[in-house]
Structure 1
Amino acid sequence: MEELRADIDRTGLDTLAGRKAPRCRVLLIAGRPGSGRTALAERLVGQLADDYPDGVLRARLTGADGEPVPTERTARALLAGLGAPVPAGAGEDELTEALRTALLGRRTLLLLDDAAGAEQVDPLLPDESGCLVVAVSRGPLTGVPDVRPCTLGGLDTAAAVELLERYAGPTRITCDPVAAKAVVEECGGQPAALVLVGGWLAAHPKTTVVDAAKRLRELPPADGHESAGRPLARAFWLAYEALPASAARILRLLALAPAGPADAHTTSALAGCSVAAAESALEDFAARGLLRAEPAGPYLGPQYRVPGCLASMLRALLETQERPAEVELARARMLERTVRQLHSCRASTETDDPLTRRRLAELPRPLRFPTPQAAEEWLRGRLPALLAAARLAVRDGRLDTLARRLVSALTRALTAHLGAEEAGPELYGLHQLVLDVAQRCEMPLEKAAALLNLGDLDARAGRTRTALGRYREALDSAREASDPYATSRSLESIAASHQELGDWQRAADWYRRALELRLTRGEPADEARLYGRLGAVHTYAGEWGEALRDWRAAAATYRRLRDLPGHARALGEIARVQEYAGRPQEALRTCLEAVEQARQAGDVRLEAAVRLRLADTLERLGDPPAAGLHRGEAERLLAAGEPTGSAGTPGSAAGPGAAGGDGPGISPARAPGVPRPQPGPHGG
């Protein structure tokens, strides 16, 4: 430990050459799984944490399935840990660059555990010499400059006996130190093997240490393992074969748990047992050294993780001792339980609804959350495992209906608790999963919905051209499905993208196509909204005649619908265009009519906004006293009136007409924010 700490301040190659270190210092703790490398790294991080006031970030670079975690996912998690904005749908290069930028000027300590190689570590290294990275890997990180390695073998005899005593208890170890040394020799001094043997001794209080050493020698050689890994394999088998059949089955099925710690609900669903039985089994496994306990929050409950050095052996046991049908059934039970938990999590935000309260009351008590805050804490704490469960369900390919339900429930829970903006990065990945399922199962409507949602997130992140491509694909899928709603939604989104790009002609053309579809279907509310969109586009282009025609059509449709606020807004837009076109007297008359419509609607904020526009028009006409009267009346209305949900400025076109859900279904069309138009070169 002292040598590791000394390496932090030791002169590097750049300093010797007279250059400032361009990147952070990297300490490497290398060793086989089970050598205690992660425990040593955590101990080092605990000692150094006070020296890095900007905090400690942790990331595991190998998943529970033994596959390397994509760098994109790791960078996203580290950015979230820093509280930095995470752009939805960003690629690996953009995310790693954002991570390096976020770490500039900080003193942060990063622990990168179980790295498969330098290609995983190098993109995550900060360009900040005040940061420190502690990497844990099996071998050297060739390609990472100026890395300081520390290679672990086995523990020395004294330390190994002390570790064995900690788990087995002091009495038997003290009474038979020779046998304890024999156990250490059989375990090769490997900490993980010693923990398992210590747990076995603790579970068998009448067994001597000599019996443990003898049993280890009698176990058959662990074929298929390297010589250095055989002591751990024998110790694992010693602990595993001592389990009752039911407990051994639960342990095997934990290999199906998605990435992240497993809790009692996950274990209960996998094994088909009660939550209480699952809790008891998890506690027993932890006492035997087969699981590691994780920190838990007030509402999260105890969490346990399979040590990485044991994961491959559990997977091998699952493949050889469980029938494929049983494995699939266990996975389906786990996903179904997760869906129900997510429904309960989302419903906790809607307790004002009597129907929702009744449905919550019908759920088993362990699935309910006492407060929305408890549900949100559970969602945040279990989010890595929930996302991993969704990815596994989609990748499996045999549970597509359940996978879609899981993705939908997770999407709705994230939106309800975190909001669309904060949950954007996770939602992007979930919609991509829906797209994968839809393409595999040849479901054009679901494909269109996923493409529309992905396009919305791309557009929100400023990738308008990427969004435009997705909307065009969605239009093809919607037409293939013969779904008019998805088709009109796609047409409007394509138009909105062209509007965002400033291509007024194409925007008007696509809005007109969407309008024709609404006219064919006889949907007057959407017709009025699309007339308004067309009017706005023509206004931006400076085509006053076209703009007036469309806004008048919108106003007439709102009037037929008896929509007084919509009619008032449309009249306000007509007045705006008339003023741009050099018709101030007409604009004044239209503004007065808009004020009357807003007054009849009882919308004080809308009336105040129209009066402010009227005041601007009067000032341009050279009547400051009248303008002052209307401006004062607007201020009085704003001060006296309560804000209403439908309030808005007359300058805004009618809102999105497609009422979409927050799941992977079709969501509302996006209305890009375009600056206030100025008079253009084209007359009306």
Structure 2
Amino acid sequence: MRFSVLGVLTVRHADGGFVPVRRRKHRQLLAALLLRANTPVSGGHLTESLWDAAPPPSAEQNLKTYVHTLRKLLSPDDPRSAPITTHGAGYLITLRPDELDVLVFQDLVRRGRRAAREGDLETACRCFEQALGLWRGDALQDAGGSRVLDRAADHLTEERLSVLEELAELQLHLGRNAEAVSRLRAAAAGHPLRERLQRQLMLGLHRSGDRAGALDAYQRFRKALVTETGLDPGRDIQELHRRILTSGSGPAPPASDRASRPAEPRPAPPRQLPRDLAGFVGRAEELVRLRSLLAPWDGGPPHHVVAITGPPGSGKSALAVRAAHAVGRDFPDGWLYTNLHGATPGLRRLEPLEVLGRFLRDLGVSPQAVPDDVDGAAALWRTRLDGRRVLVVLDDAADLAQIRPLLSVPVGSAILVTSRESFALVDDCARVRIGELLRTEASAMFAKLIGAGRAAEDVRATGRLIELCGRLPLAVGIAGARLANRPRWTVADLVERLEDERRRLHELEAGDLAVRSSLAVSYDLLAGGAHPLDRLAARTLRMLGVLQVADVTPLMVAALLGGPAEEAERAMERLVDAHLAECDEPGRYRLHDLVRLFARERAALQDPEETTAALNRVLDFYTATAVLAGTLLRYPSHGLPEIDLHAVPAPLTSREQAYEWMEEERANLLSAASQAMASPGERTVRLGAALAIRLHWHLLYGHHVSYMLTVNQRMLEAARRLGDRSIEALAHNHTGVALCARLQLPESVAHFERHLAISRELGNAHGEQRALGGLARSCFEMGRYEEAVGHAEAQRVIARRIGHSSGEYYALGIIGEAYHRLGRFDQALAVLEKSLSLSRRDGNVYQQGSELEALGELHLSRGEPALAKSAFTDALDCVRTIRMVAMESYLLLGLARSCRLLGELDQAAAHAWQAVETSRGLRDSNTEKKALAEHAAIEEARRSSPRRAGPPQAGDPERLRLAR
């Protein structure tokens, strides 16, 4: 396997095939590991590489998920054989020196420098040339974005420049001036303030006989240096400039091909570019790329077709005009411009023959001589451009057919196109895709429109407005224009209007500018298209407005459309090509917020029965897949209200796939369930409730308590609207569980009591015993141990009567824990071991983990740290098997205590700190405090008995420091 970071991050198999790493976070993680290949990388460094200093609460779990995904990408058949291994609290990627281009680069540079020191200049040159040949662009080109990775990329760039300068020095010494100059031109243009590069370029040009070029290089350097820094050039380069000035004219440069041809009388070159916008901000990276394509740093010919593509309102036209003005002097024979009206509301788009005729006349062809057929006009177009350097800007192209006859231009001229289409089928077309602005860029644009002082009056409101505009230049510009014309409005006034999603598109109108009409043009082009795929894409966009989720997959879209997944995927890809949808990773699509609102408006215009049927199909699919995932993950499923499901679930076949699907879709599932339960249709509401119920165990195991409370509040409201007491009872139970996990114990008791009352009213014995179990747990957590035993005994009786074994050993577990707290250690041990035996018999891994944790705590109280350590270790294996992250921090804390009492202080400290980090990731401040206290106790033990080893003796006071 080969890895490359000196340019776009790439991974290749041994056979040369690419390994796609499409998600940005995955690329950033891989880049961070590769930059420290064969060296362990801490979790903290990786977290900073991905999120700077503001990681999300779930960063640690996200990191684990990303590592797991990378392993699967690198070794799909056996992820464990991937070169990424866990190393302490971090990770390590192990590679041979020839498997990573950075390692090869560094080795070649070392060999080159050694050869130069030994006087073998030819070998040194060869090594440096090979090292520079490994570069395919800027380092980490698509994997940067954080301060850590950007600093690493800057360091690599500095290394590259240093090697280039060393190579140029050797080539100039050997008299290979032309070779040196060919490399130095591009580098000097890209780094105009780097004095050593500029000095080498001047020397190479002068020695090649281009004295004028050398003097011109000095003037460019001096101007750039004074403009940027206010400083004068250094003494060495000034001295070189003086020597060149006094050395005579030197050999004349060779005449160019164009200069050797007979002069041809031509009219004044056209200068048709629109005025460059004074308020233009941002797009720095895109401008650099456009300049490098249209006016290459090495002086080579421009790329003949460059397309700026992006969604409606992203500022394609403004960027094209800015880029065209920036490179205008490189096209001395003319700047041609036309607006093709491919997406202009109310205007007919221009035909190819119209554009060719207009441009030919602008280039001096008489109107009578312009051919009246496209082929003839295109041939004359190519003839007129031959030998000229003309920049042609084709703004707002509808599609490839509109401009195809103009694209084949002779070398030296360039076509710059803007379009909402992707232009993926244009041969040798360089595409520069733009989307939303960076937050800083959008803020700067907004401040220019309304004034920096006004924008700074309420920074929070300004930031919120930028996000509500989706950071699209058109939307930000309209918002700024509205405020500029309403001096008495505050930014917060407009934010309040934009917060209402139903009127946001209406508010984003100013004069003849409107986000809605801009989006409508793209939609109408698809809806009225001749190709069936275009019309299907338009229908898909409408239907996507039915469902309020963050992103979609082909299977979900297929359910929405009521068709095959292959057709759904083609429709989504067409929307991506039209820049009405975005694809951040293979098989997952999302709509920009403003496009989503537009889609929702279009959905509202459809037949309500059609939209309800589409929503129900998706809910059916989601619920059927959640049922399958829960079965594979062995989540408890007893007592759930039945509902007829007709959809074929996603093809999940393993616990791993089931867990990944539940995690990837969690936010969408919650959103869909909440939307459904607020809908008017009864089946839709019941499907939403069924989906919410199937999410319960996954949310509980993952400690997503806030989500549990929100979705169950919606379910409670829906159940009351339906008058369905069974769903109401479950909503009370699930709310009680969430409140108990949050230690809001009186509130949890109230919900469990409502669950108990409804279950008894319905004669639902299963619900009754489950409510009693909830009451037992809440009472236990409140320290009411005798009361907890009473509720648990009652649960056990009912569970045995109805044959519900998991209810029986759940009750036994609580009884055992209560006996422990009551000081009845022997009884607690007997009950907990019985509960563990029953749960092992049934293969209930969740309950095994719970009982083993309780046994661990009991063994600590009995002064048996070795047995406690064994129990906690087994429990940790159980909860990691079922991915119940909510219990991990407790168990790590128990392991830390056990190891401390055994004198294994290094292990104890590691477990304690893991408990701290895990509880922080879960925002569990209670366990975090206990883990920090335990860590302090371990450090105290280190100081007081640094040589101590082995378990404590009977009566050891350390046994008393066991408060949970």
TM-score of the superposed pair, with normalisation by structure 2: 0.34
- When Rg is computed on C-alpha atoms for both structures, the one with the higher figure is 2
Bigger RCO of structures 1 and 2 (CA < 8 A, at least 6 apart): 1
TM-score of the superposed pair, with normalisation by structure 1: 0.46
